[in-house]
Every structure is written in C-alpha cells, then in structure tokens.
Amino acid sequence: MHRLPCTDRAERCTLKTVIPLAELASRLPGRTRLGDFPSPLEPHPALATRLGLRTLLVKRDDLNGRPFGGNKLRGLEWLLASVTPGIVTMGGYGSTWCAALATAAAGTGRQVHAVLFPQPWSRDVSGALSRTLASANVTLARSRWTLPLAISGVWRACRRAGPVTWLPAGGATPLAILGTVNAALELVAQVQGTLVPRPEAVVVPFGSGGTAAGLLVGMWLAKAPIDVYAVRVTDPWFATRRRILGLARDTMTLLAAAGAEVSPGTARLYLIGDQLGPGYGHSTPRAVLAQALFAEAGISVDLTYGAKASAALATLAGSFRHLCFWNTFDPRLTAPSEHEHPLLRRAREQAEKLWPHPK
Ligand SMILES: Cc1ncc(COP(=O)(O)O)c(C=O)c1O
C-alpha cells in the first residue's frame, strides 16, 4: 500500500516534526514518549470506489505505536507524565481505553484501578478485558446502575492508600486531547505538498468525544477547512455535540496557557447519530458490512467503534468527494490471551446473562 510521505523526512526525528504542536505552543506540559509519529496516511482508491468517493484517505492510528497503538495512545503520552501513582478510571468490560491505560502504566510504578460496566460479549471485548486484567486491579460492576457505587468504593479505598488521580471514561481530559490536536496537525502536514486532494472532512467514532474534540481544535489551529464528522457510538444523553464543543473549549484554554491561542476556524463539527443501533457495544447490520469491506482492504475495524464510523462513509459519499477515515482501533490491544483470568469468566457470564446470544 502506498503511503504519503511526511512533510520533511530529514526532520522526522526532531521533536517539532514528531510533535508539530511543539512548534506552535512554547510551554507544553511534560510528555512521556509512547508512540511512533506521524502515523501513516494511506490513500485507498479501491475502497473509495466501492463507497462512491473520489478519494478515501485512512489515517492509520492503529499503527501509531509499539507494542500497541490506537487513538488512546496519543493522550496517554501526556496523561502518564502528570498522574499520581494511583489511577482510578472506568469503561465498558471491553474498554480499549482501560486496556491501553493499564498496559502503558504497567512497569511505570503506577497502579491502575479500572471499574467496568457490562457490555455485549464478543471476541474483542474478551481480548481487551484480558489485557486490562493483566495489568490493572479490576472491579466488575454488575450493571450500569451499580457503576457509580462501585466507583465510589474503589475511589475511597485508593484515597486511603495514597495520592490518586481520577481519569474519566475514554481518558477525555484537555491534557489527553493535546495528543489528538497534534494528530490533526500531523494530518494537515502530511496532505500538504502531495498530489492527493485535501479531504473535505474527517470521519471518526465518537465515544467520550476526546478524539473528535482534539481533531476539531487541531483543524482550527492549523487553519484547515477540514470538517469533523463524529459518529456517535454510545448513549445519546452522553455523546452530544455540546460535549465535544465543551471539551474543545477546555482544550483551547489549556493551549492558551501553553502559549498557543486558538480561535474557532472554518472547520465545523457534525454529529452523526444514526449508526448507534441498539446501543454501545451492540453490532448493527451496517457495521458488520462495513467491517467486512474494510477487512478486504486490510484494515481491521471493531464493531463498537470503527465499524460504526466507517459505515457512515457510504452515506456521506452522497455529499463529499474526498474524505479521511480516522482509524482508531488497534487489534493488537484485543488479541486473545492464553491465560483465562477468573474475572474474565465472571464478566462473560454477566454479559451473556444481560444479552444472551441469539440461538
Ligand atoms: C478504538 C476506539 N475508537 C474510538 C474511540 C472513541 O474515541 P473517544 O472516546 O475519544 O470519542 C475509542 C474510545 O475508547 C476507542 O477505544
């Protein structure tokens, strides 16, 4: 597969190329290097034709690090440099955020406590949970309703043991979002100076909203007229346009303190709400089709996030010619584990009790 070059190969290893944000913000907070940037940007002509587009670029954030990558790795670079030894967070049983955090924090002297709520069971859920269980203390809530109580119990116990940081679902904090602001600058630099048409919009899954917010702020910072289409994959009461704009505003405040003033530019934010289906973690027929289509092009998208976002491309093809799909999911994070942790079995039983497999 042909990959677009980075703007300046000679400078590839210097901070300003790897972190273009450093060129615009002189007082950035500390960062722990985890990723391998810029992540590749690939044109996929055959997939574009199948979808009815002239150009489809795929930003391969699944390849942005080793031993794992994905959209959460970008935020973890900034978060890990600032957190206390104790960390409490939450997510679904198969949260890739919790899996990424637990894996990245392992061996750094930090202990992650993940409080997880049930979601429909799948191979990816099992793989992500195995990874979280390998490095974090996991508490399984039996339902979403008992989650707040479970979090408060874990939080109080951790507080008694020492300093602790709360990281919200998906790690969506302004500090983490700096990673995705940088990713947008990276994309703009990769497209500049090539013959590939600039995408009119990027399409991204919308879970906690940090990724969409960071891309929007990054487009504003780069003064790039590239819209952000956020495809909702979780509850409509939580995943609102207002939420993304609030995260974007808080990130702009942080950027101003870091020496980079950003004001809203021509890039706009749009929310796509019709791909969610029955809810978070439930597959939909359109997502299953999109997953198969992307698999033919060698790209693995998961049913919770990437497949729903990629399913939206076919509809958007009616209004756009050149799009960029932001590939956030790294299957290395959800690879099956040899060792079955006792809590894995308990989680599967609970999930299958709530959402029995169709006979
Ligand atoms: C693979 C993957 N894609 C997309 C998302 C959504 O990103 P965000 O939570 O920043 O909206 C997540 C969130 O956990 C994720 O794990």
Closest-lying ligand 1 atom to the alpha carbon of residue 211: 10
Domains and CATH numbers, the chain: 9-70+172-333 (3.40.50.1100), 76-171 (3.40.50.1100)
Residues of the chain with pLDDT under 70: 1-17, 358-359
Q: What crossing angle do the helices spanning 210-222 and 174-191 adopt, rounded to 10°? A: 50
- Residue closest by Cα to atom 3 of ligand 1: 328
C-alpha–C-alpha distance, residues 258 and 156, integer Å: 33
- Separation of 58 CA from ligand 1 center, angstroms? 16
Output the six-digit token pair for 262. 């950003």
For residue 170, the SS3 value is: helix
Q: Judge if the beta carbon of residue 310 lies within 6 A of ligand 1.
A: no
208 C-beta closer than 6 A to ligand 1:
yes
What pLDDT does residue 359 have?
Answer: 44
Order of strands across the sheet that contains 137-140: 137-140, 111-117, 86-92, 164-167
Atom number, ligand 1, closest to the C-alpha of residue 333: 1
Q: Which of 71, 233, 310 to mutate to test the pocket of ligand 1 (most atoms within 8 A of CB)?
A: 71
Å from CA of 125 to ligand 1 middle:
14
The three-state secondary structure class of 138 is strand
* CA distance linking residue 224 with residue 267, whole number of Å: 7
In contact, 228 and 204? CB cutoff 8 Å: yes
Q: Per-residue DSSP letters for 27-42?
A: TPPP----B-SSPPEE
Q: Which tens digit of pLDDT belongs to each residue from 102-137?
A: 999 998 999 999 999 999 999 999 999 999 999 999
Q: Which helix (H) or strand (E) holds 116?
A: strand 111-117
pTM of the model: 0.95
CA of 32 to the centre of ligand 1 (A): 20
Q: Is the CB of 111 under 6 A from ligand 1?
A: no
- Whole-number Å distance between alpha carbons of 144 and 90: 11
For residue 11, report the distance from its CA to the centre of ligand 1, in Å. 30
pLDDT tens for residues 137-175? 999 999 999 999 999 999 999 999 999 999 999 999 999
What's the full length of the chain, in residues? 359
